Amino acid sequence: MVEKEIRYAGFSQRLLAHNVDLLPMLLLLYGSTFLFPKVGFDWLIFLLIYFGYNIGFELSGWQATPGKRWAKIHVGIEDPKKQPYRIVLRNFLKVFSLLLFFSGFVFIIFNRQQKGLHDYLAGTVVLFDEH
């Protein structure tokens, strides 16, 4: 029996996927300005769009946002029974990685599984698609 090699997605693939995902998120944010003009809670609307977009797609059968699908990567869970919990935690912990002057994302470069700080804490990993 031949075991498949696990291929972890690196920093550049993940950054590319994130940048591709920014376009639909920004379009949703722009569209929301017509629904909620000048409410003063633009940051809250952006957070709802950001977390809803990422969590929704990563919990779907794709296990990836459209940007991740385009980059042929997806989010894997170390313990599949805890998938919803891990995906939600991972996305909220991205804020922590960001607030540490992006140092949580730098972890991706310096470890074999190419995990960010948020991946370590949430028990997730980003993998290349098998096909």
In a domain, 2, yes or no: no
Summarised one tens digit per residue, pLDDT across range 34-82 is 887 776 777 888 889 999 999 999 999 899 999 999 999 999 876 666 6
pLDDT at 3: 63
In a domain, 64, yes or no: yes
**Number of domains into which the chain is organized:** 1
- Residue 50 to residues 26, 75, 93, 107: CA-CA distances in angstroms? 9, 16, 13, 22
Assign 1 a pLDDT band (cuts: 50, 70, 90). Answer: low
d(CA 38, CA 20): 27
In a domain, 4, yes or no: no
In a domain, 36, yes or no: yes
In a domain, 76, yes or no: yes
In a domain, 3, yes or no: no
Is residue 102 helix, strand or coil? Answer: coil
Q: What is the mean pLDDT of the chain?
A: 87
**pTM assigned to the model:** 0.85
Q: What is the DSSP letter of 65?
A: -
pLDDT at 30: 87
In a domain, 40, yes or no: yes
In a domain, 119, yes or no: yes
Q: In this predicted model, which residue has the larger pLDDT, 20 or 79?
A: 20
